[in-house]
Structure 1
Amino acid sequence: MSTMQSRTPWQVTRSVWHAMFMREAVSRTMADRMGWFWMIAEPVAFIAIMTFIRSFVSGSHQLITGADFIPWMIVGMMGFFLVRENMVRSQGAINASKALFAYRQVHPSDAVFVRGYLDGLLRTFVFLLFILGGLLLGLDLFPDNAIKALFGWLSLWALGMGFGLVLSVTGTLIPETAKIVGMLTMPLLIISGVILPLNMLPHYLLEYLMLNPMVHGIEFIRAAFFENYKVVHGTSEIYLWLWTLTLNALGLLLHVRYKERLKAQ
Protein backbone atom coordinates (compact mmCIF):
# COMPACT_ATOMS: atom_id res chain seq x y z
CA MET A 1 0.00 0.00 0.00
CA SER A 2 1.59 3.28 -1.10
CA THR A 3 1.68 6.20 1.23
CA MET A 4 1.24 9.81 0.16
CA GLN A 5 4.54 11.66 0.33
CA SER A 6 4.25 14.90 2.29
CA ARG A 7 5.61 18.06 0.72
CA THR A 8 8.08 20.38 2.37
CA PRO A 9 6.98 23.92 3.36
CA TRP A 10 9.09 25.35 0.53
CA GLN A 11 7.38 23.10 -2.04
CA VAL A 12 3.97 24.20 -0.76
CA THR A 13 4.97 27.89 -0.90
CA ARG A 14 6.39 27.49 -4.39
CA SER A 15 3.17 25.88 -5.62
CA VAL A 16 1.11 28.68 -4.06
CA TRP A 17 3.29 31.37 -5.65
CA HIS A 18 3.16 29.67 -9.05
CA ALA A 19 -0.63 29.40 -9.00
CA MET A 20 -1.08 32.98 -7.80
CA PHE A 21 1.45 34.24 -10.35
CA MET A 22 -0.40 32.62 -13.26
CA ARG A 23 -3.69 34.03 -11.96
CA GLU A 24 -2.23 37.53 -11.60
CA ALA A 25 -0.41 37.39 -14.93
CA VAL A 26 -3.52 36.41 -16.86
CA SER A 27 -5.52 39.12 -15.09
CA ARG A 28 -2.94 41.84 -15.82
CA THR A 29 -2.15 40.98 -19.42
CA MET A 30 -5.43 39.59 -20.73
CA ALA A 31 -8.27 41.27 -18.82
CA ASP A 32 -7.36 44.82 -19.84
CA ARG A 33 -6.57 45.12 -23.54
CA MET A 34 -5.18 48.62 -22.99
CA GLY A 35 -2.89 47.57 -20.13
CA TRP A 36 0.18 47.08 -22.30
CA PHE A 37 -0.52 50.28 -24.21
CA TRP A 38 -0.62 52.46 -21.10
CA MET A 39 2.44 50.77 -19.63
CA ILE A 40 4.43 52.00 -22.64
CA ALA A 41 2.45 55.17 -23.44
CA GLU A 42 2.81 56.70 -19.96
CA PRO A 43 6.61 57.04 -19.99
CA VAL A 44 6.58 58.03 -23.68
CA ALA A 45 4.13 60.85 -22.91
CA PHE A 46 6.26 62.02 -19.96
CA ILE A 47 9.39 62.04 -22.08
CA ALA A 48 7.72 63.93 -24.92
CA ILE A 49 6.26 66.57 -22.58
CA MET A 50 9.49 67.11 -20.62
CA THR A 51 11.57 67.29 -23.80
CA PHE A 52 9.18 69.91 -25.13
CA ILE A 53 9.37 71.92 -21.90
CA ARG A 54 13.17 71.65 -21.80
CA SER A 55 13.47 73.12 -25.29
CA PHE A 56 11.86 76.32 -23.95
CA VAL A 57 13.54 76.39 -20.54
CA SER A 58 17.14 75.68 -21.48
CA GLY A 59 17.31 75.90 -25.27
CA SER A 60 20.50 74.20 -26.40
CA HIS A 61 22.12 74.39 -22.96
CA GLN A 62 23.18 71.00 -21.60
CA LEU A 63 21.65 70.53 -18.13
CA ILE A 64 23.26 67.17 -17.40
CA THR A 65 26.98 66.62 -16.98
CA GLY A 66 28.16 63.41 -18.63
CA ALA A 67 24.84 62.28 -20.11
CA ASP A 68 22.31 63.32 -22.75
CA PHE A 69 19.05 64.62 -21.32
CA ILE A 70 16.60 62.16 -22.92
CA PRO A 71 18.50 58.91 -22.07
CA TRP A 72 19.20 60.34 -18.59
CA MET A 73 15.50 60.97 -18.03
CA ILE A 74 14.42 57.60 -19.46
CA VAL A 75 16.69 55.70 -17.07
CA GLY A 76 15.51 57.73 -14.07
CA MET A 77 11.86 57.48 -15.05
CA MET A 78 11.98 53.70 -15.51
CA GLY A 79 13.65 53.31 -12.11
CA PHE A 80 11.05 55.52 -10.49
CA PHE A 81 8.12 53.69 -12.12
CA LEU A 82 9.55 50.37 -10.92
CA VAL A 83 9.40 51.55 -7.29
CA ARG A 84 6.10 53.37 -7.74
CA GLU A 85 4.30 50.33 -9.18
CA ASN A 86 5.24 48.26 -6.13
CA MET A 87 4.18 51.06 -3.78
CA VAL A 88 0.79 51.68 -5.39
CA ARG A 89 -0.30 48.30 -6.70
CA SER A 90 0.74 46.30 -3.62
CA GLN A 91 -1.85 48.16 -1.55
CA GLY A 92 -4.65 46.33 -3.37
CA ALA A 93 -2.95 42.94 -3.55
CA ILE A 94 -4.45 41.57 -0.33
CA ASN A 95 -8.05 42.56 -1.07
CA ALA A 96 -7.73 41.21 -4.62
CA SER A 97 -6.73 37.78 -3.27
CA LYS A 98 -9.13 37.67 -0.32
CA ALA A 99 -11.03 34.65 -1.67
CA LEU A 100 -7.82 32.60 -1.71
CA PHE A 101 -7.27 32.99 2.03
CA ALA A 102 -9.82 30.24 2.61
CA TYR A 103 -6.90 27.90 1.87
CA ARG A 104 -4.63 27.78 4.90
CA GLN A 105 -1.53 27.52 2.68
CA VAL A 106 -2.15 31.02 1.28
CA HIS A 107 -1.03 34.03 3.31
CA PRO A 108 -1.51 37.77 2.66
CA SER A 109 2.23 38.22 2.14
CA ASP A 110 2.08 35.74 -0.76
CA ALA A 111 -0.24 38.05 -2.66
CA VAL A 112 2.15 40.98 -2.17
CA PHE A 113 5.25 39.01 -3.19
CA VAL A 114 3.59 37.67 -6.33
CA ARG A 115 2.23 41.04 -7.42
CA GLY A 116 5.56 42.74 -6.75
CA TYR A 117 7.40 40.07 -8.72
CA LEU A 118 5.01 40.36 -11.67
CA ASP A 119 5.15 44.16 -11.69
CA GLY A 120 8.93 43.99 -11.68
CA LEU A 121 8.98 41.57 -14.61
CA LEU A 122 6.61 43.74 -16.63
CA ARG A 123 8.60 46.91 -15.91
CA THR A 124 11.83 45.12 -16.81
CA PHE A 125 10.35 44.05 -20.14
CA VAL A 126 9.16 47.60 -20.86
CA PHE A 127 12.58 49.00 -19.95
CA LEU A 128 14.25 46.56 -22.34
CA LEU A 129 11.87 47.72 -25.08
CA PHE A 130 12.87 51.33 -24.39
CA ILE A 131 16.57 50.43 -24.51
CA LEU A 132 16.09 48.62 -27.82
CA GLY A 133 13.98 51.45 -29.25
CA GLY A 134 16.49 54.05 -28.04
CA LEU A 135 19.37 52.21 -29.69
CA LEU A 136 17.45 52.01 -32.96
CA LEU A 137 16.86 55.78 -32.74
CA GLY A 138 20.52 56.46 -32.04
CA LEU A 139 20.16 57.30 -28.32
CA ASP A 140 22.91 56.38 -25.86
CA LEU A 141 20.79 53.97 -23.86
CA PHE A 142 23.08 50.97 -23.54
CA PRO A 143 24.64 50.75 -20.05
CA ASP A 144 28.38 51.38 -19.87
CA ASN A 145 28.51 48.98 -16.92
CA ALA A 146 25.87 46.29 -17.46
CA ILE A 147 26.54 44.42 -14.20
CA LYS A 148 26.26 47.60 -12.15
CA ALA A 149 23.09 48.57 -14.03
CA LEU A 150 21.53 45.18 -13.32
CA PHE A 151 22.42 45.46 -9.63
CA GLY A 152 20.97 48.99 -9.52
CA TRP A 153 17.76 47.80 -11.16
CA LEU A 154 17.44 44.90 -8.68
CA SER A 155 18.14 47.32 -5.81
CA LEU A 156 15.26 49.57 -6.87
CA TRP A 157 13.06 46.49 -7.30
CA ALA A 158 13.91 45.37 -3.75
CA LEU A 159 13.26 48.88 -2.42
CA GLY A 160 9.85 48.89 -4.09
CA MET A 161 9.10 45.47 -2.64
CA GLY A 162 9.90 46.79 0.84
CA PHE A 163 7.56 49.74 0.37
CA GLY A 164 4.95 47.34 -1.00
CA LEU A 165 5.11 45.02 2.02
CA VAL A 166 4.65 47.89 4.46
CA LEU A 167 1.98 49.76 2.49
CA SER A 168 0.00 46.59 1.75
CA VAL A 169 -0.61 46.24 5.49
CA THR A 170 -1.34 49.92 6.17
CA GLY A 171 -3.42 50.26 3.00
CA THR A 172 -5.58 47.27 3.95
CA LEU A 173 -6.05 48.12 7.63
CA ILE A 174 -6.28 51.90 7.10
CA PRO A 175 -7.73 52.50 3.59
CA GLU A 176 -7.10 56.25 3.80
CA THR A 177 -3.35 55.68 3.54
CA ALA A 178 -3.79 54.38 -0.02
CA LYS A 179 -5.22 57.76 -1.06
CA ILE A 180 -2.33 59.58 0.60
CA VAL A 181 0.24 57.42 -1.21
CA GLY A 182 -1.52 58.06 -4.52
CA MET A 183 -1.34 61.80 -3.91
CA LEU A 184 2.38 61.61 -3.09
CA THR A 185 3.47 59.88 -6.29
CA MET A 186 3.60 63.06 -8.37
CA PRO A 187 5.61 65.09 -5.80
CA LEU A 188 7.93 62.09 -5.46
CA LEU A 189 8.50 62.15 -9.22
CA ILE A 190 9.81 65.70 -8.89
CA ILE A 191 11.84 65.47 -5.67
CA SER A 192 13.47 62.18 -6.71
CA GLY A 193 15.40 63.91 -9.48
CA VAL A 194 13.60 62.10 -12.29
CA ILE A 195 12.73 65.16 -14.36
CA LEU A 196 15.37 67.74 -13.42
CA PRO A 197 18.83 67.20 -11.90
CA LEU A 198 18.98 67.79 -8.16
CA ASN A 199 22.50 69.22 -8.51
CA MET A 200 20.85 72.45 -9.63
CA LEU A 201 19.29 72.95 -6.19
CA PRO A 202 20.93 74.76 -3.26
CA HIS A 203 22.79 72.62 -0.74
CA TYR A 204 20.48 73.36 2.19
CA LEU A 205 17.52 71.97 0.22
CA LEU A 206 19.47 69.07 -1.23
CA GLU A 207 20.30 67.83 2.29
CA TYR A 208 16.62 67.12 2.91
CA LEU A 209 15.90 65.66 -0.53
CA MET A 210 18.76 63.18 -0.12
CA LEU A 211 16.85 61.57 2.74
CA ASN A 212 14.68 60.00 0.01
CA PRO A 213 16.17 56.54 -0.76
CA MET A 214 14.74 56.59 -4.29
CA VAL A 215 17.19 59.37 -5.20
CA HIS A 216 20.13 57.15 -4.29
CA GLY A 217 18.80 54.21 -6.32
CA ILE A 218 18.04 56.32 -9.39
CA GLU A 219 21.44 58.04 -9.28
CA PHE A 220 23.17 54.69 -8.84
CA ILE A 221 21.59 53.20 -11.95
CA ARG A 222 22.29 56.37 -13.95
CA ALA A 223 25.96 56.13 -13.01
CA ALA A 224 25.95 52.58 -14.40
CA PHE A 225 24.45 53.71 -17.72
CA PHE A 226 26.64 56.80 -18.17
CA GLU A 227 30.22 56.35 -16.95
CA ASN A 228 31.00 60.09 -17.14
CA TYR A 229 27.85 61.11 -15.29
CA LYS A 230 28.39 63.06 -12.08
CA VAL A 231 25.96 61.75 -9.47
CA VAL A 232 24.29 63.99 -6.93
CA HIS A 233 26.58 64.72 -3.99
CA GLY A 234 25.86 62.37 -1.09
CA THR A 235 24.63 59.41 -3.15
CA SER A 236 25.23 56.22 -1.15
CA GLU A 237 24.54 52.57 -2.00
CA ILE A 238 24.79 51.70 1.70
CA TYR A 239 22.06 54.20 2.56
CA LEU A 240 19.85 52.73 -0.18
CA TRP A 241 20.26 49.19 1.12
CA LEU A 242 19.75 50.22 4.74
CA TRP A 243 16.34 51.53 3.70
CA THR A 244 15.67 48.44 1.58
CA LEU A 245 16.51 45.92 4.29
CA THR A 246 14.70 47.91 6.97
CA LEU A 247 11.51 48.24 4.92
CA ASN A 248 11.47 44.56 3.94
CA ALA A 249 12.07 43.47 7.54
CA LEU A 250 9.40 45.85 8.84
CA GLY A 251 6.96 44.74 6.17
CA LEU A 252 7.43 41.06 7.00
CA LEU A 253 7.03 41.76 10.73
CA LEU A 254 3.79 43.64 10.06
CA HIS A 255 2.48 40.74 7.97
CA VAL A 256 3.29 38.26 10.73
CA ARG A 257 1.74 40.48 13.41
CA TYR A 258 -1.49 41.30 11.54
CA LYS A 259 -1.90 38.17 9.40
CA GLU A 260 -5.27 37.17 10.84
CA ARG A 261 -6.64 40.71 10.68
CA LEU A 262 -5.55 41.02 7.07
CA LYS A 263 -7.32 37.79 6.19
CA ALA A 264 -10.52 38.88 7.95
CA GLN A 265 -10.46 42.49 6.76
Structure 2
Amino acid sequence: MANVKGAPKGARTPWQVTRSVWYAMFMREAISRTMSDRMGWFWMVFEPLAFITIMVGIRSFIRGDRLIVNASFIPWMVAGLMGFFLVREGMIRGMGAIEANSALFAYRQVQPVDPVVVRNFLEGMLRTFVFLLFILFGLMLGLDIYPDNAVKVIAAWLSLWSLGLGLGLVTSVAATLVPEVGKVVRMLSLPLLIISGVMLPLNQLPHWLLDYLMLNPIPHALETLRLGFFENYKTIHGTSMLYFWLVTLFLNALGLLMHLRFVDRLKAK
Protein backbone atom coordinates (compact mmCIF):
# COMPACT_ATOMS: atom_id res chain seq x y z
CA MET A 1 0.00 0.00 0.00
CA ALA A 2 1.11 3.56 -0.55
CA ASN A 3 0.24 6.66 1.39
CA VAL A 4 -1.15 9.83 -0.13
CA LYS A 5 2.33 11.09 -0.95
CA GLY A 6 3.17 8.03 -2.98
CA ALA A 7 5.77 6.64 -0.55
CA PRO A 8 5.48 3.08 0.80
CA LYS A 9 3.66 2.83 4.10
CA GLY A 10 6.11 2.93 6.98
CA ALA A 11 8.94 4.42 4.89
CA ARG A 12 11.12 6.94 6.67
CA THR A 13 11.44 10.53 5.51
CA PRO A 14 14.84 11.90 4.41
CA TRP A 15 15.05 13.89 7.66
CA GLN A 16 14.44 10.75 9.73
CA VAL A 17 17.18 8.93 7.84
CA THR A 18 19.61 11.83 8.29
CA ARG A 19 18.79 12.09 11.98
CA SER A 20 19.46 8.38 12.46
CA VAL A 21 22.78 8.68 10.63
CA TRP A 22 23.84 11.67 12.72
CA TYR A 23 22.87 9.95 15.96
CA ALA A 24 24.82 6.79 15.11
CA MET A 25 27.87 8.80 14.02
CA PHE A 26 27.62 11.02 17.09
CA MET A 27 27.71 8.04 19.43
CA ARG A 28 30.64 6.58 17.49
CA GLU A 29 32.57 9.86 17.59
CA ALA A 30 31.74 10.53 21.24
CA ILE A 31 33.02 7.13 22.37
CA SER A 32 36.15 7.49 20.25
CA ARG A 33 36.81 11.07 21.39
CA THR A 34 36.27 10.61 25.11
CA MET A 35 37.20 6.99 25.82
CA SER A 36 39.75 5.75 23.28
CA ASP A 37 42.30 8.40 24.29
CA ARG A 38 42.78 8.54 28.06
CA MET A 39 44.61 11.86 27.68
CA GLY A 40 41.84 13.48 25.63
CA TRP A 41 40.09 15.18 28.54
CA PHE A 42 43.42 16.14 30.07
CA TRP A 43 44.54 18.06 26.99
CA MET A 44 41.19 19.83 26.60
CA VAL A 45 41.62 21.28 30.09
CA PHE A 46 45.43 21.57 30.21
CA GLU A 47 45.89 23.49 26.94
CA PRO A 48 43.90 26.61 27.93
CA LEU A 49 45.19 26.31 31.50
CA ALA A 50 48.79 26.33 30.23
CA PHE A 51 48.12 29.40 28.07
CA ILE A 52 46.56 31.21 31.01
CA THR A 53 49.49 30.36 33.29
CA ILE A 54 52.02 31.57 30.73
CA MET A 55 50.13 34.80 30.07
CA VAL A 56 49.72 35.52 33.78
CA GLY A 57 53.50 35.19 34.06
CA ILE A 58 54.01 37.54 31.12
CA ARG A 59 51.53 39.98 32.65
CA SER A 60 53.79 40.44 35.65
CA PHE A 61 56.35 41.99 33.28
CA ILE A 62 54.22 43.94 30.80
CA ARG A 63 51.21 44.67 33.03
CA GLY A 64 48.82 43.65 30.24
CA ASP A 65 45.83 44.07 32.52
CA ARG A 66 46.31 47.85 32.38
CA LEU A 67 45.60 47.72 28.65
CA ILE A 68 42.10 46.32 29.21
CA VAL A 69 39.35 48.75 30.14
CA ASN A 70 36.70 47.65 32.68
CA ALA A 71 37.55 43.94 32.62
CA SER A 72 39.68 41.62 34.77
CA PHE A 73 42.63 40.26 32.83
CA ILE A 74 42.33 36.52 33.62
CA PRO A 75 38.55 36.18 32.97
CA TRP A 76 39.00 38.35 29.86
CA MET A 77 41.65 35.99 28.56
CA VAL A 78 39.76 32.81 29.55
CA ALA A 79 36.75 33.95 27.51
CA GLY A 80 38.97 34.74 24.53
CA LEU A 81 40.91 31.47 24.68
CA MET A 82 37.85 29.26 25.02
CA GLY A 83 36.04 31.07 22.23
CA PHE A 84 39.05 30.83 19.93
CA PHE A 85 39.59 27.12 20.68
CA LEU A 86 35.94 26.48 19.79
CA VAL A 87 36.51 27.94 16.33
CA ARG A 88 39.94 26.37 15.85
CA GLU A 89 38.85 22.86 16.79
CA GLY A 90 35.81 23.09 14.52
CA MET A 91 38.10 24.05 11.65
CA ILE A 92 40.90 21.54 12.30
CA ARG A 93 38.86 18.52 13.33
CA GLY A 94 36.59 18.99 10.34
CA MET A 95 39.57 18.40 8.05
CA GLY A 96 40.08 14.81 9.19
CA ALA A 97 36.42 13.89 9.46
CA ILE A 98 35.94 12.67 5.89
CA GLU A 99 39.03 10.47 5.76
CA ALA A 100 38.36 8.99 9.20
CA ASN A 101 34.85 7.95 8.18
CA SER A 102 35.50 6.97 4.56
CA ALA A 103 34.48 3.35 5.18
CA LEU A 104 30.97 4.49 6.09
CA PHE A 105 30.41 5.96 2.64
CA ALA A 106 29.65 2.45 1.40
CA TYR A 107 26.21 3.11 2.87
CA ARG A 108 24.30 5.38 0.53
CA GLN A 109 22.61 7.12 3.47
CA VAL A 110 25.97 8.51 4.67
CA GLN A 111 27.30 11.59 2.92
CA PRO A 112 30.73 13.25 3.38
CA VAL A 113 29.11 16.28 5.01
CA ASP A 114 27.66 14.16 7.83
CA PRO A 115 30.89 13.43 9.78
CA VAL A 116 31.93 17.08 9.52
CA VAL A 117 28.65 18.30 11.03
CA VAL A 118 28.68 15.59 13.72
CA ARG A 119 32.30 16.28 14.71
CA ASN A 120 31.65 19.99 14.98
CA PHE A 121 28.57 19.40 17.12
CA LEU A 122 30.46 17.03 19.42
CA GLU A 123 33.43 19.36 19.71
CA GLY A 124 31.12 22.22 20.54
CA MET A 125 29.49 20.23 23.34
CA LEU A 126 32.85 19.23 24.80
CA ARG A 127 34.24 22.78 24.62
CA THR A 128 31.07 24.13 26.21
CA PHE A 129 31.48 21.69 29.09
CA VAL A 130 35.14 22.67 29.56
CA PHE A 131 34.22 26.38 29.43
CA LEU A 132 31.60 25.85 32.14
CA LEU A 133 34.25 24.08 34.23
CA PHE A 134 36.58 27.07 33.90
CA ILE A 135 33.77 29.43 34.91
CA LEU A 136 32.97 27.26 37.93
CA PHE A 137 36.62 27.02 39.02
CA GLY A 138 37.07 30.75 38.47
CA LEU A 139 34.10 31.55 40.69
CA MET A 140 35.47 29.21 43.36
CA LEU A 141 38.77 31.11 43.20
CA GLY A 142 36.99 34.45 43.52
CA LEU A 143 37.54 35.63 39.93
CA ASP A 144 35.10 38.03 38.31
CA ILE A 145 34.03 35.55 35.64
CA TYR A 146 30.26 35.47 36.21
CA PRO A 147 28.55 36.86 33.06
CA ASP A 148 26.72 40.19 33.39
CA ASN A 149 24.59 39.31 30.35
CA ALA A 150 24.18 35.54 30.01
CA VAL A 151 22.04 35.85 26.87
CA LYS A 152 24.77 37.80 25.06
CA VAL A 153 27.37 35.24 26.16
CA ILE A 154 25.28 32.32 24.88
CA ALA A 155 24.56 34.10 21.59
CA ALA A 156 28.25 34.91 21.03
CA TRP A 157 29.27 31.36 21.96
CA LEU A 158 26.79 29.86 19.47
CA SER A 159 28.02 32.35 16.87
CA LEU A 160 31.61 31.15 17.31
CA TRP A 161 30.35 27.57 17.10
CA SER A 162 28.69 28.41 13.75
CA LEU A 163 31.88 29.97 12.43
CA GLY A 164 33.81 26.83 13.36
CA LEU A 165 31.26 24.77 11.44
CA GLY A 166 31.59 26.97 8.34
CA LEU A 167 35.38 26.78 8.43
CA GLY A 168 35.20 23.03 9.01
CA LEU A 169 32.93 22.53 6.01
CA VAL A 170 35.29 24.47 3.74
CA THR A 171 38.57 23.02 5.02
CA SER A 172 37.21 19.44 5.06
CA VAL A 173 36.69 19.56 1.30
CA ALA A 174 39.86 21.52 0.53
CA ALA A 175 42.13 19.36 2.73
CA THR A 176 40.66 16.10 1.42
CA LEU A 177 41.13 17.06 -2.21
CA VAL A 178 44.48 18.83 -1.65
CA PRO A 179 46.27 17.37 1.44
CA GLU A 180 48.76 20.25 1.56
CA VAL A 181 45.90 22.57 2.53
CA GLY A 182 45.59 20.79 5.87
CA LYS A 183 49.24 21.45 6.69
CA VAL A 184 48.89 25.14 5.86
CA VAL A 185 45.74 25.50 7.97
CA ARG A 186 47.45 23.92 10.99
CA MET A 187 50.44 26.22 10.56
CA LEU A 188 48.16 29.27 10.50
CA SER A 189 46.35 28.39 13.72
CA LEU A 190 49.00 29.99 15.98
CA PRO A 191 49.29 33.29 14.03
CA LEU A 192 45.49 33.38 13.93
CA LEU A 193 45.43 33.14 17.73
CA ILE A 194 47.72 36.15 17.99
CA ILE A 195 45.93 38.40 15.48
CA SER A 196 42.50 37.58 16.91
CA GLY A 197 43.16 39.49 20.12
CA VAL A 198 42.99 36.39 22.27
CA MET A 199 45.90 37.07 24.60
CA LEU A 200 46.42 40.83 24.33
CA PRO A 201 43.94 43.55 23.29
CA LEU A 202 44.11 44.82 19.72
CA ASN A 203 43.03 48.35 20.68
CA GLN A 204 46.66 49.34 21.28
CA LEU A 205 47.64 48.69 17.66
CA PRO A 206 47.81 51.45 15.05
CA HIS A 207 44.46 52.25 13.48
CA TRP A 208 45.61 51.42 9.96
CA LEU A 209 46.71 47.94 11.07
CA LEU A 210 43.56 47.38 13.11
CA ASP A 211 41.43 47.97 10.00
CA TYR A 212 43.10 44.99 8.32
CA LEU A 213 43.03 42.75 11.40
CA MET A 214 39.30 43.33 11.84
CA LEU A 215 38.68 41.68 8.49
CA ASN A 216 39.17 38.53 10.53
CA PRO A 217 35.67 37.66 11.86
CA ILE A 218 36.88 35.97 15.06
CA PRO A 219 37.66 39.18 17.06
CA HIS A 220 34.13 40.46 16.45
CA ALA A 221 32.53 37.50 18.25
CA LEU A 222 35.24 37.30 20.92
CA GLU A 223 34.70 40.94 21.84
CA THR A 224 30.94 40.40 21.98
CA LEU A 225 31.51 37.35 24.19
CA ARG A 226 33.66 39.42 26.54
CA LEU A 227 31.09 42.20 26.55
CA GLY A 228 28.60 39.65 27.84
CA PHE A 229 30.87 38.99 30.82
CA PHE A 230 31.71 42.65 31.48
CA GLU A 231 28.89 45.04 30.63
CA ASN A 232 31.16 48.11 30.82
CA TYR A 233 33.95 46.55 28.76
CA LYS A 234 35.27 48.72 25.94
CA THR A 235 35.25 46.58 22.80
CA ILE A 236 37.63 46.95 19.88
CA HIS A 237 36.74 49.79 17.53
CA GLY A 238 34.79 48.42 14.56
CA THR A 239 33.34 45.35 16.28
CA SER A 240 30.28 44.27 14.29
CA MET A 241 28.25 41.09 14.63
CA LEU A 242 26.55 41.93 11.34
CA TYR A 243 29.90 41.61 9.57
CA PHE A 244 30.64 38.44 11.56
CA TRP A 245 27.40 36.77 10.49
CA LEU A 246 27.79 37.80 6.84
CA VAL A 247 31.18 36.03 6.80
CA THR A 248 29.86 33.05 8.79
CA LEU A 249 26.82 32.52 6.56
CA PHE A 250 29.02 32.85 3.47
CA LEU A 251 31.46 30.22 4.76
CA ASN A 252 28.64 27.82 5.66
CA ALA A 253 26.99 28.27 2.26
CA LEU A 254 30.33 27.90 0.46
CA GLY A 255 31.16 24.76 2.46
CA LEU A 256 27.82 23.13 1.69
CA LEU A 257 28.15 24.01 -2.01
CA MET A 258 31.67 22.51 -2.08
CA HIS A 259 30.38 19.31 -0.48
CA LEU A 260 27.57 19.13 -3.04
CA ARG A 261 29.90 19.82 -5.98
CA PHE A 262 32.66 17.37 -5.00
CA VAL A 263 30.60 14.67 -3.24
CA ASP A 264 31.68 11.92 -5.64
CA ARG A 265 35.38 12.77 -5.35
CA LEU A 266 35.15 12.97 -1.57
CA LYS A 267 33.57 9.50 -1.40
CA ALA A 268 36.29 8.10 -3.67
CA LYS A 269 39.11 9.33 -1.43
TM over 0.5: yes
Partner of 1:49: 54
Q: Check conservation: 1:198, 1:232, Cα contact below 8 A.
A: yes
Partner of 1:144: 148
Does residue 157 of the first structure (1) align with residue 161 of the second (2)?
Answer: yes
Q: Partners of 1:251 and 1:96 in 2: how far apart? A: 19
Partner of 1:33: 38
Aligned AA for 1:36? W
**Which stretches of structure 1, 4 residues or longer, exceed 6 Å deviation after superposition?**
none
Following superposition, the deviation at residue 58 of structure 1 comes to 2.0
Aligned AA for 1:12? V
Please show how residues 109-120 of structure 1 align to structure 2 within 5 Å. Answer: 109-120=113-124
**Aligned to 2:82, which of 72, 78, 82?**
78
The SS at the match of 2:69 is: coil
Following superposition, the deviation at residue 118 of structure 1 comes to 0.3
TM-score after normalising by structure 2: 0.96
Q: Deviations over 1:144-188 (max 9, x none)?
A: 000111000000000110000000000100000000000001001
Partner of 2:71: 67
Structure 1: gaps spanning 5 or more residues: none
Aligned AA for 1:85? E
Structure 2: gaps spanning 5 or more residues: 2-7
Q: Partners of 1:18 and 1:142 in 2: how far apart? A: 33
Please show how residues 6-25 of structure 1 align to structure 2 within 5 Å. Answer: 6-25=11-30
Q: Check conservation: 1:94, 1:262, Cα contact below 8 A.
A: yes
Q: Partners of 2:184 and 2:194 in 1: how far apart? A: 17
Following superposition, the deviation at residue 142 of structure 1 comes to 1.1
* Identity score, percent: 68
**Aligned to 2:218, which of 202, 214, 217?**
214
Partner of 1:171: 175
The SS at the match of 1:76 is: helix
Q: Partners of 2:223 and 2:216 in 1: how far apart? A: 12
Aligned AA for 1:57? I
Count, aligned residues: 264
Q: Partners of 1:129 and 1:95 in 2: how far apart? A: 32
Partner of 2:5: none
Following superposition, the deviation at residue 5 of structure 1 comes to 1.0
Following superposition, the deviation at residue 54 of structure 1 comes to 1.0
Q: Check conservation: 1:51, 1:70, Cα contact below 8 A.
A: yes
Partner of 1:106: 110
Does residue 121 of the first structure (1) align with residue 121 of the second (2)?
Answer: no
The SS at the match of 1:62 is: helix
The Cα RMSD (Å) is: 1.3
Aligned AA for 2:220? H
Partner of 1:247: 251
Q: Check conservation: 1:63, 1:69, Cα contact below 8 A.
A: no
Partner of 2:204: 200
Q: Partners of 1:178 and 1:142 in 2: how far apart? A: 37
Following superposition, the deviation at residue 57 of structure 1 comes to 1.5
Following superposition, the deviation at residue 4 of structure 1 comes to 5.8
